[in-house]
Structure 1
Amino acid sequence: MRRTVRPLTGTALAVAAAGLLAAPAYGAGTGDLEVYPSSVVPGGLVTVTTAACRDDGTAAGDASAVGAGSFALAPGGERDVTGRFEVPPGAQPGTYEIVATCSGGGGPVTGDLVVTLTAPREQVYPRGSVKTGVGGALGPDPVQTAAGVTALAVAAAGGTWLLHRRARGDGI
């Protein structure tokens, strides 16, 4: 058994070492262009960000595919360059490639922008009470809640008084 364990351990270590050598170093450029929002209506403002040009500090952006022309990217965050452009009001629906070229050379980085005629819907979170028929301890209206608590207290007091009279033999 000992002979089997050593070759398997050696193989596992060799695979792990090869994976570490092939993995990019921490902070290496991703080589892509982040487009936010990725889906926009004509006339909307778009922000693009990339980490590929962090050593150069600036980049030239090209959104002529969608009709917006060129724009500049400048340092905008930790190790990123950021730029903005407006999608022309007459832009047609479709997917467009946005390109940024670092000022220090190197290949261009690209990202996709989707132009739609309807605005993307934002996440809607539920609020308020749910009408399930089961009821709840607190309603949305504090006046109704206070009235309900008062009615329950009066009913409890009246019921207790009636039971006490019956137990004493006074009758109802």
Structure 2
Amino acid sequence: MRRTARLLTGGALGVAAAALAAAPAHGAGGSGLEVYPSSAVPDSRVAVRTGACGDGGTAQGDAAAVGAGSFPLAPRTGERDVAGRFRVPPSAQPGTYEIVVRCAAGGRRVTGDLVVTPASHRQQAYPRGTVKTGVGGALGPDPVQTAAGVAVLAVAAAGGTWLLHRRARGDGI
């Protein structure tokens, strides 16, 4: 039992360490390019930021791969990174696109990925209609038929109650 627990704990720690190593660096000291949101629909705004350009640096972004062209990145107040924004064009096709940023000082190149999804993925799809299982539902979802069924059941219940009441009094049927 103890050995199994050690194996499971060690395996879980290994998976967590691998996930942390593969995750992009967040925060002011990150040297990668953060793209937010990392998955966008056409005609939406995307923000990028990086700490690779140093304090007070500027940079030029390039989103030509997705059709958005170039955009400026400027230092953020109180932070050690630069940030910028661009709009995904309405004509953008679904896929993964590389966003490139070049720092003004030193010409350092930093890249990140943007996944463009179809606009229909933004809305949650809910099922419509009835389920054809072959069990029940003989009248269907028609409100007139449902009301008629409820009326028949009410009359049957009232008649049954009346008959039981007469029998209890001894009047007979």
Give the TM-score normalised by structure 1: 0.50
Give the TM-score normalised by structure 2: 0.49
